[in-house]
Amino acid sequence: MKAQVTADPPKHKPLFRGVCASSITPFHADGTFAFARLKPHIDWLIAEGVSAISPLGSSGEFAGMETDDRKRVLEASIEACAGRVPIVAGTHHVSTRLTIDLSKHAQSAGADALLIVPPYYMAPTPTQTMDHYRRIAEAVSIPVVLYHNIPLTSVNLRTSHLVQLFREGAIRGVKMSNPEPDRICSLLQETGGQLSVYAGIDSVAFEGLCHGAHGWISGIPSMVPAAAVKLYEAISVKGDLVAARQIWAKLSPLMRLQFSAYQSGGDGAHWFSVMKAGLNMIGPEVGDPAPPVLPLPVELHETLASILRDLGYAAQAKP
> Is the pLDDT score of 266 beyond 80?
no
If pLDDT is split at 50, 70 and 90, which confidence band does 95 have? very high
If pLDDT is split at 50, 70 and 90, which confidence band does 34 have? very high
Q: Rounded to the nearest 5°, which phi and psi values hold at 318?
A: -110, 145
Mean per-residue pLDDT, 265-278: 89
**By percentage, how much of the chain surpasses pLDDT 70?**
95
Query: CA 223 → CA 19, 84, 205, distances in Å?
Result: 12, 19, 15
pLDDT per residue over 207-264, tens digit each?
A: 999 999 999 999 999 999 999 999 999 999 999 999 999 999 999 999 999 988 877 7
Looking at the domain 18-239, which fold is it?
Answer: TIM Barrel (3.20.20)
What pLDDT was estimated at residue 260? 87
pLDDT per residue over 222-236, tens digit each?
A: 999 999 999 999 999
What pLDDT was estimated at residue 12? 59
What pLDDT was estimated at residue 267? 79
- Active-site option among 71, 133, 175, 313: 175
Between these two residues, 73 and 6, which has the higher pLDDT value?
73
What pLDDT was estimated at residue 317? 74
Active-site residue flag, 262 = no
Active-site residue flag, 230 = no
Cα separation, 266 vs 261, whole angstroms = 5
- Active-site option among 147, 232, 262, 313: 147
If pLDDT is split at 50, 70 and 90, which confidence band does 10 have? very low
